[in-house]
Amino acid sequence: MNDMQDGARHRDIEAAYSSYADDVYRLAYAILHDRDDAADATQETFVRAFHRWDRYDPDRPLRPWLHTIVSRVAFDQLRRRRVRWLAMPVLAERSAMSSEDAYAGRDPGSSVPRRQAIEEALEGLAPVARAAVLLRHRYGYEYTEIAGFLGISVSNVGAVLTRARARLRAQLDDAPVMQEERA
Amino acid sequence: MTGRPPPKEERDLDRWVQEATEGWRMPPLTQDRDPLAGTDRQ
């Protein structure tokens, strides 16, 4: 790659970062459930995107391409974290303590108690389920796309989402703020 | 069962998940967290 191409690529990636860093971070966070790890995964995603930029088809939307990369990066990170925890259980304890402030970057705009109830319900899901819920209900991806991102079959996406929705609904049905809203 | 939920339930979940994840945002970049660190920026 010559200097001119390299410069153009940096500009493209910086523009992609400005537009999609939060979208990439959200999927990383859904999978890793740790702010620092999600930020690291987001950074790694854009580095990989930089190196693979010639494989990106500019006629296709960029966000799904970035979501494919970050999903791989975050699941790899999750596997490495589990191996570390198996090797050194004390790390797992420290991580559990530090995750208490995991939602410090909350949006102050919407109904806080309801949002907290939903966040807590999401927190109870497994990483794959949390990622599938985010991809479907925030980004509106089709099941086939979600299957591609998460490396599972389409029928498995359906099963994961069905279980996740049932669990969210059960937990939210018990939350006082949701009962008040329905009253 | 792996069917999609009824439209209203799907829309409620869309709204709730949107709200709950709005604050999940990439923290501001610092020098040690540059998206292009290590790529020989020009």
The reported pTM is: 0.82
Do A21 and B26 lie within an 8 Å CB cutoff? yes
Q: Does A155 touch chain B (CB under 8 A)?
A: yes
Which of A29, A43, A119 is closest, CB to CB, to B35?
Answer: A43
| Per-residue pLDDT at A94 | 60
* Among A163, A105, A92, A160, residue whose Cα is nearest residue B28: A105
Q: Which of A11, A17, A26, A43 is best to mutate for the B interface (most B CBs within 10 A)? A: A43
Q: Does A168 touch chain B (CB under 8 A)?
A: yes
Do A165 and B22 lie within an 8 Å CB cutoff? no
Q: Which of A4, A11, A34, A119 is best to mutate for the B interface (most B CBs within 10 A)? A: A119
Tracing tokens 């709204």 back to the chain, one arrives at B15
B9 three-state secondary structure: helix
Sequence letter at residue A121: A
Which of A26, A168, A169 is closest, CB to CB, to B21?
Answer: A26
ipTM of the complex, rounded to two decimals: 0.78
Tracing tokens 């086939």 back to the chain, one arrives at A144
Question: Which conformational region is residue A61 in: left (phi greater than 0), alpha (psi within -120 to 50 degrees), or beta?
Answer: beta
Do A138 and B42 lie within an 8 Å CB cutoff? no
Q: Name the percent of chain A in helix, strand, coil, to the closest 5.
A: 80, 0, 20
Distance CA A76, CA A70 (A): 10
> Residue-wise pLDDT tens for chain A (183 aa)?
677 777 888 899 999 999 999 999 999 999 999 999 999 999 999 999 999 999 999 999 999 999 999 999 999 999 998 887 777 766 666 655 554 444 444 554 556 688 888 889 999 999 999 999 999 999 999 999 999 999 999 999 999 999 999 999 888 887 776 666 666
Q: Does A54 touch chain B (CB under 8 A)?
A: no
- How many Cβ atoms from other residues are within 10 Å of residue A170's Cβ? 10
